[in-house]
Structure 1
Amino acid sequence: MRQLKLLVTGLLVALFSLQLSADQAADDKAAETIRSAFQQLDSTVEITEVMPTPIKDLYLVVIGSSNLVYVTADGKHVLQGDLLNIGHQPVVNLTEMVRSQINAKLLAGFPQDKMIVFPAEGPAKASITVFTDVDCGYCRKLHAEVPELNALGIEVRYMAFPRGGKRAPAYDIMQNVWCADDQRQAMTDAKRGKSIASKSCDNPVQEEFELGMQLGVRGTPALFLDDGTMIPGYRPAEDLARDLGIL
């Protein structure tokens, strides 16, 4: 009897392994077909990754570093938008989960010494990365609560995102802020509407603005948690602390 059980178990393991191999082969073939279809359409398109989804013959395709689309296994049909699992409570945004992972990698790869950092008081319990515009009213409101965030153990890392790009008056102001001898004080002064001394240096304002666009930032403030989750718009300090599991 024991030998029969072992035989059945062995057969089940073998069948499962064969199924995994077949699934992997199907995924590899679909990825090759999808890449080929995009190359024929536009040879400059860079496909970073092709991933299976819970829907048979539908794949999530990462184009470049952060653009996401869904493509059928035959490479003939493309869908844009978010894939939701409504069979789960609460509803799970599967696309947003992948997007957050990509965001986290992009942010982790950006040098922190190019940011303006307001450190936590004592050991940091969490951090947020904030794409900000010194002329944005809600950015100023959030900045007024930075001391409270720091006191709660939250480190605030600022990146520049002048909403109008190089054409915006804030663009030059933010360059002056990043070039200031005391960046934190300059940031605070700028958000209080004070004049910032004009100063030139090799600054990351344009680089950070482009990264923000890549991450899907379209307005300010745009906050990113360590796991890559984006919180668009102003949130009170206590709400942020709760989101971060501190309160």
Structure 2
Amino acid sequence: MTLFKKPLVLAGALAALLGSMAQAEVDASIAKTIKARLEAGNPKASYGEVRESPISGLYEVDVDGGASTLFVSKDGSHFIFGDLYQVKSGGGLANLSEERRTSRRAKVMEAQDIDDMIVFSPKGEKKAHIYVFTDVDCGYCRKLHNDVPELNRRGIEVRYLAFPRAGLKSPSYRKIATAWCAEDRNSTLTALKNRQKVPLNVCANNPVAKQYKLGNEVIDVRGTPTIVLEDGSVVPGYVPPDRMASALGI
């Protein structure tokens, strides 16, 4: 996220302030004014479409691919940065911003080319799948990878995407790119995670940079492993197989 790093929480005091998530199309002149003011204030960020928010008088604008959202005044001169919560009439809170992000993540991940991933599939019936942003130089990534046979036994397919935490100019990038460039990608990834010596081979047009960008700009990966479930929910960090199966309803 560019220049938007510490969101604050916006919680409605009254449920009546918050309408449904259904939204009408915003007047083009209002949308143009809001985006122009935001771009003038912070030209380094990228801004998505302007939408009506559940709070009267404020408009929603996604920042940098939708990882964060601004709630902006009609003239674009003021905004609130953070998550919008709804106080439910029956009690409890609903994070409306996270619900929107979750739905968007599910669509984005489903649209990714599975041929660009390193996939470990169950031998029997596949009951669910998870997406895992991984690094080869990550202790908990190794721990999760050791669980892959058990996850597969439970019917969970593991779809790996590359996320070299040290960046695209690091030794970690060259290692993980070697796995994606290998003839036997699954065995090579396993060998690298087991700290075996593998000749480095970074081929042209490998998908590592694209997946790294996806993790940074859309999924908002902040560490590895980061697991994305089919419904778009994010599970940061390592989760044992029994808890993962439970989360997936298996």
| TM-score, scaled to structure 2 | 0.81
Aligned: 1:57 with 2:54: no
**Deviation of residue 46 (structure 1)?**
5.4
**Is contact 1:58–1:71 with CA below 8 Å preserved after alignment?**
yes
Residue aligning to 1:234:
238
**Deviation of residue 41 (structure 1)?**
4.5
**Deviation of residue 123 (structure 1)?**
2.4
Aligned length: 221
- Which of the two has higher C-alpha Rg? 1
Separation in 2 of the partners of 1:142 and 1:126? 17
Residue 98 of structure 1: which of 97, 100, 109 is its match?
100
**Is contact 1:35–1:47 with CA below 8 Å preserved after alignment?**
no
Separation in 2 of the partners of 1:152 and 1:90? 34
Aligned: 1:35 with 2:37: no
**Is contact 1:180–1:186 with CA below 8 Å preserved after alignment?**
yes
Give the stretch that moved more between structures: 128-137 or 61-70: 61-70
**Deviation of residue 86 (structure 1)?**
3.6
Aligned: 1:80 with 2:67: no
Give the stretch that moved more between structures: 109-118 or 53-62: 53-62
What fraction of aligned residue pairs are identical, expressed as a percent? 41
**Deviation of residue 142 (structure 1)?**
0.5
- Answer 1 or 2: which has greater helix percent: 1
Unaligned residue ranges in structure 2 (runs of 5+): 1-22
**Is contact 1:121–1:152 with CA below 8 Å preserved after alignment?**
no
For residue 223 of structure 1, give the secondary structure of its aligned residue in structure 2: strand
**Is contact 1:138–1:221 with CA below 8 Å preserved after alignment?**
yes
**Is contact 2:227–2:234 with CA below 8 Å preserved after alignment?**
yes
Give the stretch that moved more between structures: 168-177 or 89-98: 89-98
Separation in 2 of the partners of 1:42 and 1:59? 15
Aligned: 1:145 with 2:143: no
Residue aligning to 2:19:
none
Separation in 1 of the partners of 2:37 and 2:51? 20
For residue 121 of structure 1, give the secondary structure of its aligned residue in structure 2: coil
Separation in 2 of the partners of 1:41 and 1:219? 29
Give matches, 1:1-247, under 5 Å.
Answer: 24=24, 28-29=26-27, 32-42=29-39, 47-66=47-66, 67-87=68-88, 89-202=91-204, 203-214=206-217, 215-246=219-250
Deviations 1:92-134 (A, max 9, x none): 2111111112212221222110100001232211110000011
Unaligned residue ranges in structure 1 (runs of 5+): 1-22
CA RMSD of aligned residues (A): 2.1
**Is contact 2:85–2:97 with CA below 8 Å preserved after alignment?**
yes
Deviations 1:122-157 (A, max 9, x none): 221111000001110000001110111111111100
Separation in 1 of the partners of 2:227 and 2:80? 28
Deviations 1:209-239 (A, max 9, x none): 1111012001100000111111111111111
**Deviation of residue 64 (structure 1)?**
5.0
**Deviation of residue 28 (structure 1)?**
2.4
Give the stretch that moved more between structures: 193-202 or 40-49: 40-49
For residue 82 of structure 2, give the secondary structure of its aligned residue in structure 1: coil
Amino acid at match of 1:227: D
Change (3 A) 1:135 1:64: closer
For residue 235 of structure 2, give the secondary structure of its aligned residue in structure 1: strand
Give the stretch that moved more between structures: 201-210 or 234-243: 201-210
Amino acid at match of 1:161: F
**Is contact 1:85–1:91 with CA below 8 Å preserved after alignment?**
yes
